[in-house]
Chain A
């Protein structure tokens, strides 16, 4: 059956899982996925000319202290530059990159913490400011709310599927 043009067929579910605090680069038909994204922010960097995408599963805005474990993928301030470097190593160019963002939800509502102070919102602000500093435009985003998301990305096209339990699927 040919799916309607407005709803492209879902990408096959065989995708490499990007665990919390990690990022990877994909090309061609390779797919990357983040399952069950909550307050973390998923950052996709896509280079259309080079046919490359990098997907990061970022937990926090920046390292909380100098002796934090050396895992750059955990923090927006360090993960995004590391993703740019990884793309450059595969032939990507920073001036060709566009970004797509997903996640950054507030899963539990707390009376004392308004949504804009929650970890999801702070992750989003840190990702946006890091991207701005690097001169990478944001092409699309599906962020916030109080629900989890699963993300599947295709390497060559940078097409991003966003699925949720009670919300209709979106394609970015």
Chain B
């Protein structure tokens, strides 16, 4: 089955809610770090499955990635990524100076997963509220590896049902130029997409 193509209004709606979700996530991160975090304009694209790794900088590019599955009244996957350098900056702020993603102490691993939990949970809370759909994140998983390998899991869920992946991307960065930056990717499952946008359309 191919998911029905979304009309431009639906794509605008998804872009808008993704932007608000990422904005709330950025605010949560800003509070933790005591820094201003800015967002780029959100991007919504329907990509060939083979192009999703390219959206993360290419299949062999090493990324620090936190994955949260999305369950509830719509399904999907959240991936929060950063470069190893940006993750090193973030870890230093969180009290792990000198911790490099190549050799992470166990507590730093937990800290990164918890950051993912907070960012992903905040993003989904906003989507749930705006779209009137109950969305719940799964326990976060962490991988530091090639982007192609990291996105495999997300693509396997789409491969049986869709030729393409709908990718909602928002990028955040520390306004001071301090080096903390990353991206939030949301890949809704095509089966729940209709319900997801229908919930948003009901809004006054």
Which residues of A are in contact with B by a Cβ distance under 8 Å?
19-22, 35-40, 59-60, 63-65, 67-69, 71, 74-75, 105, 107-112, 119, 146-150, 165-166
Tell me the residues in window 119-159 of chain B with beta carbons closer than 8 Å to chain A beta carbons: 138-139, 141-153, 155-156, 159
Instruction: Indicate if the CB atoms of A165 and B145 lie closer than 8 Å.
Output: yes
Which residues of B are in contact with A by a Cβ distance under 8 Å?
1-2, 48-50, 53, 58-60, 62, 67, 102, 138-139, 141-153, 155-156, 159-163
B148 to chain A, nearest CB (A): 2
CA distance A109 to B53 in the complex (A): 20
* Prevailing SS type, chain A contact patch: loop
A–B complex contacts, Cβ < 8 Å, 13 sampled: A35-B59, A35-B60, A36-B59, A37-B148, A37-B152, A38-B149, A38-B152, A59-B156, A68-B161, A107-B141, A112-B139, A147-B145, A148-B145
CA distance A108 to B67 in the complex (A): 8
A108 touches which of B2, B142, B159 (Cβ 8 Å): B142
- Counting residue pairs across A and B whose Cβ atoms lie within 8 Å, the total is 110
17 new A-B pairs (CB below 8 Å) besides A20-B49, A59-B49?
Answer: A19-B50, A20-B155, A20-B159, A36-B53, A36-B146, A36-B149, A38-B146, A59-B156, A65-B161, A74-B159, A107-B145, A107-B149, A108-B67, A108-B143, A111-B139, A147-B145, A150-B60
CA distance A75 to B159 in the complex (A): 9
